[in-house]
Amino acid sequence: MRRRSPRDVRALRGLRARLIAACVAVAVLAAATASWASAASASNSLLRSTQQRIADTAARRITDTAPALVYPPDTGDLRKIRDALDGPVVVTYESLRVHAGETAAITEQLRTAVHGGDHLALQRADSATGMKLLVGVPVLITGVDGQQRPSGIEVYLVRDLGDVVRQVNALTRNAIWTSALALPVAVLLALLAARGVLRPVRELRGTARKLAAGDLDARLRPSGVDELAELATTFNDTAASLQSSISELARMEADSRRFVADVSHELRTPLTTLTSVAEMLEEDLERMPSDARASIELAIAETRRLASLVEDLMEIARFDAGAAQPHLERVDIPGVVRECLRSRSWTEQVRLDSPEELAAVLDRRRLDVIVANLVGNALRHGEPPVVVRLSADEQEVHLEVIDNGPGLPEGVAAQLFARFHKADSSRGRSAGSGLGMAITAENVWLHGGTIEAGNADGAGARFAVRLPRWSEET
């Protein structure tokens, strides 16, 4: 047997399948109920009328025969009653008894009901030869005043109900066939109904997908005045409201990004001047009085930090503006990493664990930024020795940076790549700009890669970067 695919399961549990199943169930149940009701009604009527006809016929024949009988009767009189009736019959009067045919089916229950009774008693009983109707007839003496009393004469008849059973079974079969014939019709009608109801739902799904994909102009065409048309109108209103909100947000975001970019750009020129002045001052530090030296050193450090912050802000602004494009080329990754560590004098504190050669197509400068930021972060917030581990498969390059510090506090990893995130909230001002990890993440994402932060077993914090190995060269 073929296993059901998830799609098959979805189709079976879908709205269409449920709608069709519900319609078919209701229709078949309605047809079955109607068929049963009519069959049961007809069967009951047939059975009742047959039973009554048998009972009335027996009572009438006995009543027609009785006036010719002597009372108290002898066996000859009882025979006259017996002979007036067809089929199996027993006639009793006190100890006298005459009978004809097979009367074993007559029950004690029936005899008890007839004995001393003033009404006919009927009972259906199963026998070896099929369903029988047992009829018990007490014969009453009616006085000239109309008062009746039992005469002691009792007549029992056994009548076959085979014909009625056959007719009832035929009615039942007809009911079953009617119910069965309702099934294909119900399926057809349910399919048509489902099609009519679900078409607008499918349109709704398609339009919702377009909206999700970014086509904010996508709208439904409401038709009619039913609930589905109302739903379409509401959906359109929601989409319009969403479009308006998103457009407003996008405008505000663009404005704020432009503001950041403009501010950063405007700050560059005075900062260049300040940096030049700071460098000049730095050269003359030795000749300055010692009380002024500390202040000047602080001013120089802050000027450099401000310049770095502005550079980072401009980098972030370029990412936000979509202006950042990776310059892809074939690079030897271990070579790039070694150069990054060497140029920043980190070779003593960092151990590189990598194959001798590992080629990939990446943006060399951005890879340098990624490695520098991660290693710098590890040295600043963790403890040396820091391990940089490189590996690759056919599709991806794996870069891990593991420090030997206390590791990341719980809950920090999720916000680590947010802008201006500070791992230590008590340090409002740190050597970093608070944008380094955000820029790192942006550079990874620009390559189509992923970055994760966590803790390594038996070590400190662990940052894992995956980059596509063979991006198309530009």
Toward other proteins, which CB reaches closer, 160 or 329? 160
Q: Does 2 bind other proteins (CB under 8 A)?
A: no
Toward other proteins, which CB reaches closer, 138 or 334? 138
Site map (CB under 8 A) of other proteins, residues 176-215, x = contact? x--x------------------------------------
Closest CA to 313 of 178, 419, 173: 419
Toward other proteins, which CB reaches closer, 144 or 280? 144
Instruction: State which of residues 168, 271, 278, 300 lies at the interface with other proteins (CB under 8 A).
Output: 168
Q: Does 55 bind other proteins (CB under 8 A)?
A: yes
**452 strand-pairing partners:** 464
Toward other proteins, which CB reaches closer, 71 or 445? 71
Toward other proteins, which CB reaches closer, 140 or 464? 140
Q: Does 151 bind other proteins (CB under 8 A)?
A: yes
Closest CA to 436 of 320, 309, 321: 309
Q: Which of residues 370-399 bind other proteins (CB under 8 A)?
A: none
In a 13 Å sphere around the CA of 335, the CA atoms on its Cβ side amount to 10
Give the SS3 label for residue 431. Answer: coil
Question: CA-CA distance, 318 to 283, in Å (whole number)?
Answer: 34
Q: Which of residues 71-90 bind other proteins (CB under 8 A)?
A: 71, 73
**137 strand-pairing partners:** 155
Minimum CB separation from other proteins for residue 47, in Å? 6
Minimum CB separation from other proteins for residue 192, in Å? 22
Contact range with other proteins by CB under 8 A, out of 55-63, 279-287, 352-360, 443-451: 55-63
Minimum CB separation from other proteins for residue 324, in Å? 53
Give the SS3 label for residue 285. Answer: helix
Instruction: State which of residues 78, 98, 135, 336 lies at the interface with other proteins (CB under 8 A).
Output: 135
Q: Total residues at the site for other proteins (CB under 8 A)?
A: 71
Q: Does 70 bind other proteins (CB under 8 A)?
A: yes
Instruction: State which of residues 33, 241, 245, 295 lies at the interface with other proteins (CB under 8 A).
Output: 33
Minimum CB separation from other proteins for residue 463, in Å? 49
CA end-to-end distance (rounded Å), the chain: 52
Instruction: State which of residues 20, 66, 369, 392 lies at the interface with other proteins (CB under 8 A).
Output: 66
Toward other proteins, which CB reaches closer, 63 or 234? 63
Instruction: State which of residues 23, 98, 106, 153 lies at the interface with other proteins (CB under 8 A).
Output: 153
Q: Which residues contact 185 (CB under 8 A, 6 or more apart)?
A: 27
Instruction: State which of residues 45, 142, 238, 273 lies at the interface with other proteins (CB under 8 A).
Output: 142
In degrees rounded to 5, what are phi and psi of residue 421? Answer: -80, 130
Question: CA-CA distance, 58 to 51, in Å (whole number)?
Answer: 11
Q: Which of residues 92-131 bind other proteins (CB under 8 A)?
A: 109-110, 113, 117-126, 131
Toward other proteins, which CB reaches closer, 175 or 374? 175
Q: Does 18 bind other proteins (CB under 8 A)?
A: yes
- In contact, 105 and 158? CB cutoff 8 Å: yes
Minimum CB separation from other proteins for residue 44, in Å? 9
Instruction: State which of residues 155, 211, 340, 350 lies at the interface with other proteins (CB under 8 A).
Output: 155
Which amino acid belongs to residue 473? E
With b for 16 or more beta-carbon neighbours within 10 A and e for fewer, the 408-438 pattern comes to beeeebeebbeeeeebeeeeeeeebbbbbbb
- In contact, 362 and 473? CB cutoff 8 Å: no
Toward other proteins, which CB reaches closer, 80 or 344? 80
Minimum CB separation from other proteins for residue 128, in Å? 13
448: left (phi over 0), alpha (psi -120 to 50) or beta: left
Six token digits for residue 105: 């089916």
Instruction: State which of residues 27, 106, 139, 278 lies at the interface with other proteins (CB under 8 A).
Output: 139
Angle at 112 between CA 106 and CA 118, to 5 degrees: 105
Burial class (CB in 10 A: 0-12, 13-18, 19+), 386: buried
Cis bond leading into 72, ω under 30°? yes
Q: Which residues contact 333 (CB under 8 A, 6 or more apart)?
A: 354, 358, 359, 360, 362, 367, 390, 392, 397, 399
Site map (CB under 8 A) of other proteins, residues 35-54, x = contact? -x--xx--x---x---xx--
The residue with tokens 């530009």 is 474
